[in-house]
């Protein structure tokens, strides 16, 4: 049972990292569930403080992921159309990886710009500024989610290696 929990936890870690970039998957909470599954094995001792703190961090980053892009957009005079354009641009980059890794950076900005121009086509300077704010907010939220998911994966691997003799024993 410990092996199954560890493998499912590892899969959730990987999905959590991917979920840092995909708006439909809650990256840090999925990574946290992976940590929880590892701690539910008989091999790894329960550490409810560790789990509580990491859960609070995962939930905080998830909430901030909604607040930061809105704050960036608002600070630069943007609209919700710019935020949605940024998200749609990211999906375009993932579905059609024409520009490779640069697409993850370029398409959200292009999407934010198109969204802002659709709302404010008369003042292009303001639309560019708002698109930049939306883009910076989006990148900041994505970076925070990715950072937490990678840290959780590192903690998972560290604990899994530390307790691997117990996890993978068949007694």
CA distance 90 to 140: 14
Task: In whole angstroms, give the CA distance from residue 96 to residue 121.
Answer: 27
Range(s) of the domain holding residue 40:
2-167
Q: What is the DSSP letter of 101?
A: G
Mean pLDDT (the chain, rounded): 86
On the question of pLDDT at 150 being above 90, the answer is yes
Tell which wins on pLDDT, 74 or 31: 31
Q: What is the pLDDT of residue 101?
A: 67
What crossing angle do the helices spanning 103-119 and 80-95 adopt, rounded to 10°? 150
What pLDDT shows up at residue 171? 62
Residue of higher predicted confidence among 19 and 69: 19
What distance, in Å, lies between the first and last C-alpha atoms of the chain?
11
Predicted pLDDT of residue 36? 96
Q: Which is higher by pLDDT, 76 or 56?
A: 56
DSSP three-state, residue 102: helix
The total number of structural domains in the chain stands at 1
pLDDT of 1 strictly over 90: no
Contact assessment for residue 130 and residue 77, using Cβ atoms and an 8 Å cutoff: yes
- Residue 149: the pLDDT is 97
The CA distance from 81 to 73, in Å, is 10
Residue 142 burial (10 A CB sphere; 0-12, 13-18, 19+) = buried
- Label residue 93 by pLDDT band (50, 70, 90): confident
> Is it the case that residue 33 has pLDDT exceeding 90?
yes
């Amino acid at each position: 049972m410990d092996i199954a929990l560890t493998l499912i936890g590892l899969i959730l870690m990987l999905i959590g990292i991917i979920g840092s970039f995909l708006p439909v998957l809650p990256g840090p909470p999925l990574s946290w569930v992976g940590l929880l599954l590892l701690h539910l094995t008989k091999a790894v001792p329960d550490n409810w403080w560790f789990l509580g703190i990491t859960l609070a961090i995962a939930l905080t980053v998830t909430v901030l992921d909604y607040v930061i892009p809105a704050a960036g957009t608002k600070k630069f005079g943007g609209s919700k159309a710019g935020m949605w354009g940024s998200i749609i641009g990211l999906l375009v980059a993932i579905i059609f990886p024409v520009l490779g890794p640069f697409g993850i950076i370029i398409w959200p900005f292009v999407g934010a710009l198109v969204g802002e121009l659709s709302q404010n086509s008369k003042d292009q300077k303001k639309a560019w500024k708002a698109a930049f704010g939306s883009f910076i907010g989006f990148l900041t939220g994505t970076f925070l989610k990715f950072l937490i998911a990678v840290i959780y994966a590192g903690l998972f691997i560290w604990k899994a290696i530390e307790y691997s003799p117990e996890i993978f024993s068949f007694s």
